[in-house]
């Protein structure tokens, strides 16, 4: 994810080895909807943020994406 100096998201990309490009594009679209409206603190320069996400395929009911918290001190 590339974040502009003013704090808005400039661009978003994803890499998923072994996953078809069409599926990766769908994942990027979903993530873009979620983070597109976020506003980050202003900085002197553009910033690149790498955020690892781990997905697991399952057929369990209501097993779609879940909101979570990542914080080194805990949630």
Q: Tell me how far apart the alpha carbons of residues 72 and 21 are, in angstroms, rounded to a whole number.
A: 32
CB count within 10 Å of CB 12 equals 16
Put the strands of the sheet holding 47-48 in their side by side order.
Answer: 9-11, 2-3, 47-48
CA angle, 71 as apex, 68 and 75 as ends, to 5°? 60
Selection from 7, 19, 25, 29 nearest residue 55 by Cα: 19
**What does pTM read for this prediction?**
0.60
46 confidence band (pLDDT: 50, 70, 90): very high
Q: What is the pLDDT of residue 4?
A: 93
């Amino acid at each position: 994810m590339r974040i502009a100096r003013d704090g808005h998201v400039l661009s978003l990309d994803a890499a998923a080895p072994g996953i078809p490009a069409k599926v990766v594009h769908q994942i990027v679209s979903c993530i873009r909807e979620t983070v597109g409206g976020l506003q980050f603190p202003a900085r002197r320069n553009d910033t690149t943020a790498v955020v690892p996400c781990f997905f697991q395929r399952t057929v369990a009911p209501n097993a779609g994406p879940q909101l979570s918290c990542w914080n080194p001190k805990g949630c």
